[in-house]
Chains A and B, each alone.
Chain A
Amino acid sequence: MAPVLVLWLAVCLSVTWAVDRGNFKTCDQSAFCKRQRALKPAESPYRALLETMELTNTRLTLQLINDNNKVRLLLELYRLQGNMTRVKINELKPLKPRYEVPDVLIREPPTEPLSLLSQDENGVVLSLGAESQRVIVSARPFRLDIMEGRDVLMSLNSRGLLAFEHLRMRKDTFSYKVTSTVASVWDNIKRVFSSQVEPEAEKKEEGDPANQSETTKEEEEKVEDGMWEETFKSHSDSKPNGPSAVSLDFSLPGVEHVYGIPEHADTLRLKTTDNGDPYRLYNLDVFQYELYNPMALYGAVPVMLAHNAQRTTGIFWLNAAETWVDISSNTAGKTVFGKMLDYVQGSSETPQTDVRWISESGIIDVFIMLGPTPNDVFSQYASLTGTQSFPPLAAVGYHQCRWNYNDQEDVTSVDAGFDEHDIPYDYIWLDIEHTDGKRYFTWDPHKFATPKEMLQGLMDKKRKMVAIVDPHIKVDSNYKIHNEIRSRGFYIKNKDGGDYEGWCWPGSAGYPDFTRADMREWWASMFAYDQYEGSMENLYTWNDMNEPSVFNGPEVTMHKDAVHGAWEHRDVHNLYGFYVQMATAEGLIQRSGGVERPFVLTRAFFAGSQRYGAVWTGDNAAEWEHLKISIPMCLSLGLVGISFCGADVGGFFKSPSTELLVRWYQTGAYQPFFRAHAHLDTPRREPWLFGPENTALIREAVRQRYALLPYWYQQFYHAHRTGQPIMRPLWVEYPQDPATFALDDEFLIGRDLLVHPVTEEGARGVTAYLPGKGEVWFDVQTFQKHNGAQNLYIPVTMSSIPVFQRGGSIIPKKIRVRRASSCMMHDPYTLYVALNPQRTAEGKLYIDDGHTFNYEKKEFIHRRLSFTNNILSSVNLAPDAQFTTQSWIERIVILGASKPSTVTLKTADGKESQLEFDFDASMSVLTLRKPGMNAGVDWNVMLQ
């Protein structure tokens, strides 16, 4: 949802359908961004003081000095396990501590020894282990280069944009005493004056070291606008700590493609920002966001991936303050012809992408992930911030949401509607109207008078519910939650020390300080069945508005000078939503005594949020472009660890055409988080409201999802184990094929399914790129075989969802689709074996109880299925794991097969039996009838 109430007024004045850009800052309106961006590439004023270098077994430290103001910084350099380098820069002696982001890293990253290779007065060379990888620290000016052999992989401060605004005392000057308006005029005059004297001062400094302190003083007095106070619209930011921004540039030689830094409504491949604003990372509740621009949205993950055909690397900028990322490229302006010309002429200029990160406060703490493969980067990043939480199986099913299902009767009738129209679903959702006056953890006494009765009704059908719990708490002395938080002093404070109050759904609201561990513990305890009245074990949670959204705050969020204990909101802003989801997920775990897996959806997020549940792309609109953008938005999230991603099916604002709704279901069915949602003011759009034909199309899309649940679930398990994205860009699996680098209208699920949803209105066909020279792909509907490394035109009708299975893969499905995922628990599997040209295939089968943490206690089945030499076999991948299943193998479909004369099943006990089969010569599809063996045991099937 969005702050409709507040923006209502704005909409009344300008009835255009789009974000009101004026509500959100541009770089120019954000004082530190403007200040930092004004610095242009030049020789860095920073110099490494090599004589201060200390090298221990785990790290190198070294002081940096800014020759302009003589402020010293401390550089720490670590070589981390798994081919990563960590670079930390802080003030050597800050006036007070600067914020370092806690709780995002899953542990202190283990280090590996750094060894000194050489040293002279120009710098030092350190070894990063065996692979001829080195870090070169240059002293004057300071820069870092990471090399492999003769290649530079990445350079830091090579453009001299390292900047570190040291904490300083506010000078009790004339300009301070006069009013701010006068002050800014005065500042301007002074700036003009000081810029005139500057060259002279520099000369003086060089010539006369004795003058140094005086010059320094002069530098410091150069107070610019917005350093000690800043206003945006009617909001002023008091900035008691003054300027504190940090900035650093990274050069990526040989790189033309960079990805990541969600959340933006933009293409998968990031664009250069030279001609506009940088990409902004600042969690905001943006009303009716616009597409294809770098404006900040609800979440922020400061992780960027860089890729070329040889290597994939990553940069993780661990900073939770407002952050801007500039991207430029030396090839960006060139036409294709220009590039070819370079090639023909043998131009020595290699392509290069330059990136620059600017954050408002905190320190520089960067993790450089050196790959070299995409999967290496994923596991490197996962080793820092953890992997996708493993959701309960049901959460991978279909979710039916709407703002709002009006009352219990409405819930019952929608639930019955799904049965009547034979459409499966697992969760029905309740938005804010279910509460008693927007007091979370309560129920509307009239509309939801007997929530347990309602939940029991759902449970009887093996279905579940999600109810919203937002982090803004109604200020109401009759509300238990508010009273508790206030009496415990858990609210965030305003700059004057009182409880911060903002305007949100309930009216005046307080915001619990989720950065406090004791607050989170208390919050988690509120989900206990005896605390959260009316809750049951099939009730799960949705955290919305946790940017946090403050309707009457600057940029619809919290004032930066609000106070979280020792820190300002400025320092922790992008972490708030992360903590809310963390505490909520913990609550759901605790209420079951640590047995059951939680499911929590969040709108705001940060690096590491993947550990706590799912995210969605916020308040989109029922427009074709929004359907299209759901693909790059979720792909970008997947690349930075957040795999459990989806967009509101149908679009949140406005009302979709029937065609758009159907196409959105077809697309959503193949994205990790599959939930339909709609705004309060839109007409109802349950799947059966658009005539029998469209009901059938939607039913079929949802059923395809359910049939594929075993594969999806396996992907989640894999993501949980490895950090690899579930929904992936093609280049992740085909890293050497440049044709895949910018594709974002199709994607892979795991390795084995390629999906090119129809996202054009009135489409008669789509052109999908099938990657892989020498590979083949099978249409999952027709079993038609297509060669890889081609653009394939696929004619489509309204029922088409172009999906292809990779030759060489084995995908398990449960084609007995039932009304909810847990009803399918014991159902048998059908294995789809798609042969590659070498006539081999491989796949996996993962089975567990679907909802508890017992898989951590080795209670699961994990098997490798492989087809080679005409033998399909199932081998245990986890012999030490224990789990039994009632599921069996009911059918094996081999695509690209030839006709055998006999098919023999051999089970572990040595028994052999002949299997009946069916061969479709036109499509070369061999179907083995009812082999019947249990899915959890060893077996062979021989084709002769």
Chain B
Amino acid sequence: MMCCQYILLLLLLGVSGGVSAVEVQRPRGVPLSKRQFYEEDKPFTCLDGSRNIPFDRVNDDYCDCQDGSDEPGTAACPNGSFHCTNAGFRPGFIPSSRINDGICDCCDTTDEYNSGAACQNTCRELGRKERESLQKMAEIAKEGFLLKQQLIQEAKRGLEDKKAKYADVQLSKNEFEKRVEALRTVKETAEQPEKEAKERHLKAWEDQKAVIQMEKDKARKAEVFLELDDDADGFVSVAELLSHSELDPDSDVSFTEAEAQGLLGGVDKVDAVAFESVWINIKEKYISEANADSPAPVETPLAEMRDNESEQYPEEDIPDDEEDDDEEDEDDDPDDDYKSPPTMQTQEKKDDEDEGTMPPYDQETQNLIDAAQKARDAFDEAERALREVDDQIKNLEKEISFDFGPTAEFAYLYSQCYELTSSEYIYRLCPFNRVSQKPKYGGSETNLGTWGQWAGPEDNPYSIMKYEHGTGCWQGPNRSTTIKLTCGKETVLTSTSEPSRCEYLMEFTSPAVCQEPSSLDSVLHEHEEL
């Protein structure tokens, strides 16, 4: 341990020794690259060429040059900048307003030469740390880049496979189409006799029903006649009719004798035969005396209630993505649209109170129906298969044409999901699909955005992913998520935050982002320049 430190120290001394060897006297705050403009004993020309001043006005704590170049080492110029050498670390510029402001900005402490601030030279330490971290990053980049090559190969293979499959499926699609057409013909052929047989059966039943209905009406008429004929004299009189106020033709408060007489066709009473024509007028309104006591059924305004409810809870709350899902679901279950004929059971129940039940199909009809159903099933099956093929083709087309990066290195993320658990939520990133958030301890999932596009800067568009149009926020935008990708050996969601309400930011490491590392030395060297 000791010996290693020693060596390291020597190395650093070597570096800084080298630096001091080339250190040249120059006015405070001037970078080496501009040293030649600051020559003692010669008038100084402002770097923008605007003015000449005596050299003793350079760094005299008064701003003479518009561009601030005469005061590189003081805070006199509002637009000046100060160069810190930062031996052992990266050199840099700071705005000259930070000179002697009591805050240590340069790691070599040179910015606080007159403020009394107790600054420590931290350049070596910073340099060491930076080198360490650069080294680490370089290692990661190296390994990551290797992995990336594999990913590229895999993606290539995957793409070829998909293209091959695509060709296959395209071919098989023709087969499916042919099959669908053939089965359609079979189905239509079987359905024609089925339809005819069913219609026949229905017609017979309708005729039979009409007869039954007529019988029933007749029976009721007779029954009513007897009921109305209170004095059993074989006639229904105006007085007898008046006891049934529901028959009032204008439904006002009073059911007058004149009105009753009108109902009886202008006479005072009618016999059972003449009642025929009266019955036609009153049968809709007539309430049997046997039922009169029981209250009229209260119509529950169920439909109305539902309407109200739907007004109170509009369905617009349902987020867009779910709607999308719904659509897909519909596509998956086309069979729902086909109404199968009512089963015997329901038919029975429904017709119970009415005119009895339709008798079962005769064997011949039933056979035709069964045959047609079989043809339909076969056709449906074929059609579904075709649709599946179509979906497959669509998906393949999408995947083949999808922008998975310049060498398709991001293809492996497709149809994967990655999770990160925070203190409150589980975040889920399904690349190229969607981002979501779910409370850790129960609660519904919130959509933080669906795949939008690559959104990195022009020179590196594949460094940022954007997911948009998530669940809406109160008084705010729809949720959206920005994913920052960094090079890593593993594919991991490393952090998540919500810097602005409903705008999420996540960090995601993947070998696919790793760039070919230049050699470590050159990386370090880049930052050593003085």
Contacts and interface: CB of A to CB of B under 8 A. Distances in A.
Given A406-B498, A822-B102, A890-B62, 16 more contacts: A11-B475, A462-B102, A654-B475, A681-B473, A682-B476, A682-B501, A684-B499, A684-B503, A816-B78, A816-B97, A817-B78, A818-B98, A819-B103, A890-B61, A930-B60, A930-B61
Nearest to A463: B103
B97 A681 contact: no
A769 to B, nearest CB: 32
Interface of B: 60-62, 75-76, 78, 95, 97-98, 101-103, 423, 473-477, 497-503
Interface in A642-699: 653-654, 679-684
B102 A823 contact: yes
Interface in A469-518: none
Interface of A: 8, 11, 406, 410, 422, 446, 460-462, 653-654, 679-684, 703, 815-819, 822-824, 827, 890-891, 929-930
20 contacts: A8-B474, A406-B498, A406-B499, A410-B497, A461-B103, A681-B475, A681-B476, A681-B501, A683-B501, A703-B78, A816-B97, A817-B78, A819-B101, A822-B102, A824-B101, A827-B75, A890-B76, A929-B62, A930-B61, A930-B62
A703 to B, nearest CB: 8
Contacts of B474: 8, 681
B314 to A, nearest CB: 11
Nearest to A689: B500
A816 B62 contact: no
A890 B74 CA distance: 13
Nearest to B62: A930
Contacts of B101: 462, 818-819, 823-824
Contact of A681 (B60, B102, B502): B502
A491 B30 CA distance: 65
Q: Which 4 A-B pairs have the closest CB atoms?
A: A684-B500, A823-B101, A681-B476, A930-B62
Contact of A683 (B95, B97, B500): B500
A421 to B, nearest CB: 11
Contacts of B475: 11, 653-654, 679, 681
B54 to A, nearest CB: 11
Nearest to B96: A816
B499 A815 contact: no
Nearest to B76: A816
A653 B475 CA distance: 9
Kindly name the residue among A703, A816, A823, A891 whose own CB sees the greatest number of chain B CB atoms within 10 A: A816
A626 to B, nearest CB: 16
B117 to A, nearest CB: 10
Contacts of B60: 930
B102 to A, nearest CB: 6
Contacts of B498: 406
A824 B473 CA distance: 43
Nearest to B500: A684
A452 to B, nearest CB: 19
A502 B75 CA distance: 55
A543 to B, nearest CB: 24
Contacts of A406: 497-499
B277 to A, nearest CB: 60
Contacts of A891: 62
B501 A823 contact: no
Nearest to B104: A460
Contact of A818 (B97, B499, B500): B97
Nearest to B477: A683
B529 to A, nearest CB: 22
Contacts of A11: 475
Contact residues of B: prevailing secondary structure: loop
Contacts of A819: 97-98, 101, 103
A827 B101 CA distance: 9
A824 B78 CA distance: 13
A454 B16 CA distance: 34
A410 B495 CA distance: 14
B386 to A, nearest CB: 47
Contacts of A827: 75
Contacts of A684: 499-500, 503
B62 A818 contact: no
A816 B75 contact: yes
A558 to B, nearest CB: 27
A217 B374 CA distance: 99
A816 B68 CA distance: 12
Given A406-B499, A422-B97, A819-B98, A462 B476 contact: no
Contacts of B497: 406, 410
A219 B61 CA distance: 84
A564 B26 CA distance: 73
Contacts of A930: 60-62
Contact of B499 (A410, A679, A682, A890): A410
Contacts of A682: 476, 500-501
B521 to A, nearest CB: 30
A818 B75 contact: yes
Kindly name the residue among B75, B78, B101 whose own CB sees the greatest number of chain A CB atoms within 10 A: B101
Contacts of B78: 703, 815-817
Contacts of B423: 446
Contacts of A461: 103
Contacts of A890: 61-62, 76
Contacts of B476: 681-683
A929 B475 CA distance: 56
Kindly name the residue among A460, A683, A817 whose own CB sees the greatest number of chain B CB atoms within 10 A: A683
B95 A422 contact: yes
Nearest to B103: A461
A680 B97 contact: no
Contacts of B97: 422, 816-819, 823
Nearest to A410: B499
A681 B473 CA distance: 8
Kindly name the residue among B98, B103, B474, B502 whose own CB sees the greatest number of chain A CB atoms within 10 A: B103
Nearest to A683: B500
Contact of B503 (A654, A680, A683): A683
Contacts of A822: 102
B95 to A, nearest CB: 5
Contacts of B95: 422
A819 B96 CA distance: 11
Nearest to B423: A446
Contacts of A679: 475
Contacts of B62: 890-891, 929-930
A827 B477 CA distance: 46
A930 B501 CA distance: 51
B82 to A, nearest CB: 13
A116 B251 CA distance: 91
A205 to B, nearest CB: 60
A822 B475 CA distance: 39
Contacts of B103: 460-462, 819, 823
A7 to B, nearest CB: 11
Nearest to B476: A681
